[in-house]
Chains A and B, each alone.
Chain A
Amino acid sequence: MAILEGLNKIFESKIRLGIMSVLVANESADFATLKSLLELTDGNLASHTRSLEEAGYIRCEKKFVGRKPNTTYFATQAGREAFAAHINALENFLKECKS
């Protein structure tokens, strides 16, 4: 469909869109925060963050807090732009529907 042009394949998944929403609204979020906000299991979240990382939309920093590994995620500039473009496309679609 021509109207849906500009929609990003990666953001077709609600979960990935959710992860991006959190990371764009906040400076960063750690694994546990994302997990509780999106109500996901460890494995599920990990696979979605991996695909976002591969797309270059987010990056992660791994650290040890004491003995516990702690992963913090950040949105990259490319990720922010892609997210904004995706939302613009959604909004344009709504506008077209109205007119």
Chain B
Amino acid sequence: MEEKEVKQTLNDIRDMMSKSSRFQSISGYSIIVVGLLAAVATLISAVVLGVENCFPCSEKLQQCAILDTTTRTRYIALIGMVLFVVSLLTVFIFATIKSKKNQLRFVLDKRTGQMLLDFFIPLVAGGVLSIAMVMQHHYGLTSSIMLIFYGLALINCSHYTYPILRYLGYAELLLGLIDCFIVSHALLCWFLGFSVLHIIFGIIYVILFDRKKA
């Protein structure tokens, strides 16, 4: 009887410490959805860029895809921005639902604000850099820059949430660095980083944190 009580107390302490110090509202399912969205964006981009032999599409589609470089760049930038906004919304909506369900706090307190700041500073820096490079017609390294800065952003904010997020950051960073040296497979690397890695990581995250609680 006493033993049970002591065990319960220790568990309560542990729960309270992690509940108060970690941002646990991020849902694993939203990470998977973001990965799937990125896959869709990759497919659309492949059509816009007119990647040959990418997938068996009709001649007509190929002909539509023959656009001049400026138009292509505009389309790709538009796809990227839409994907960015939709992904953020997805994560936010899933997080709201999850925190309501598990009665976690999901308020803009000092810690959440700090976490968002730590996440967005590297991300915005990378974003501005890649926009600048595209505007100056240096397209080659855009995907690596996006991957590298996204990886750094994840590593930078990982200590506010489950530390495992750090490994996704390392993976993105490594992929981005490899991508620097690989010419002409930018879209593939981008797809691996933003879609495949997200889906794999999302599944691991769901198994580790979301299903255990249910």
A residues contacting B by CB (< 8 A) are: 14, 17-18, 21-22, 24-26, 29-30, 32-33, 36-38, 87, 90-91, 93-94, 97
A26–B3 touching, CB < 8 Å: no
Q: Given B10, B107, B110, which contacts A87 in the complex, CB threshold below 8 Å?
A: B10
- Majority DSSP secondary structure for residues of A touching B: helix
Q: Does B12 contact A (CB under 8 A)?
A: yes
User: Which residues of A are found within 8 Å of B12, using beta-carbon distances?
Assistant: 14, 17-18, 21
A29 to B10: give the CA distance in the assembly, Å: 21
A91 to B3: give the CA distance in the assembly, Å: 10
User: Which residues of B are found within 8 Å of A90, using beta-carbon distances?
Assistant: 6, 9-10
B10–A91 touching, CB < 8 Å: yes
B residues contacting A by CB (< 8 A) are: 2-3, 6-7, 9-10, 12-13, 16-21, 105, 107, 109-111
**Nearest B residue to A26, CB-CB:** B21
B3–A94 touching, CB < 8 Å: yes
A59 to B18: give the CA distance in the assembly, Å: 22
User: Which residues of B are found within 8 Å of A14, using beta-carbon distances?
Assistant: 9, 12
A85 to B21: give the CA distance in the assembly, Å: 21
CB-CB under 8 A for A22 and B16, given A33-B109, A36-B105, A37-B105: yes
User: Which residues of A are found within 8 Å of B105, using beta-carbon distances?
Assistant: 33, 36-37
B109 vs chain A, min Cβ distance (A): 6
B16, B21, B105 — most chain A CB neighbours (10 Å) = B16
Q: Given A21, A30, A32, A33, which contacts B13 in the complex, CB threshold below 8 Å?
A: A21
B17–A25 touching, CB < 8 Å: yes
B6–A29 touching, CB < 8 Å: no
User: Which residues of B are found within 8 Å of A38, using beta-carbon distances?
Assistant: 16
Other 8 A-B pairs with CB < 8 A, given A14-B9, A25-B20, A25-B21? A17-B13, A21-B16, A25-B17, A25-B18, A26-B20, A36-B107, A37-B19, A93-B3
A11 vs chain B, min Cβ distance (A): 9
B7–A87 touching, CB < 8 Å: no
B6–A93 touching, CB < 8 Å: yes
A21–B20 touching, CB < 8 Å: yes
The contact sample of 10 A-B pairs, CB cut-off 8 A, is A18-B13, A21-B17, A21-B20, A25-B18, A25-B20, A26-B20, A33-B109, A37-B20, A87-B13, A91-B10
User: Which residues of A are found within 8 Å of B13, using beta-carbon distances?
Assistant: 17-18, 21, 87
B10–A22 touching, CB < 8 Å: no
A81 vs chain B, min Cβ distance (A): 16
**Nearest A residue to B13, CB-CB:** A21
CB-CB under 8 A for A94 and B20, given A21-B13, A33-B109, A36-B105: no
A97 to B17: give the CA distance in the assembly, Å: 25
A-B CB proximity, top 9 nearest: A25-B17, A21-B16, A25-B21, A22-B20, A97-B3, A21-B13, A21-B17, A26-B21, A90-B6
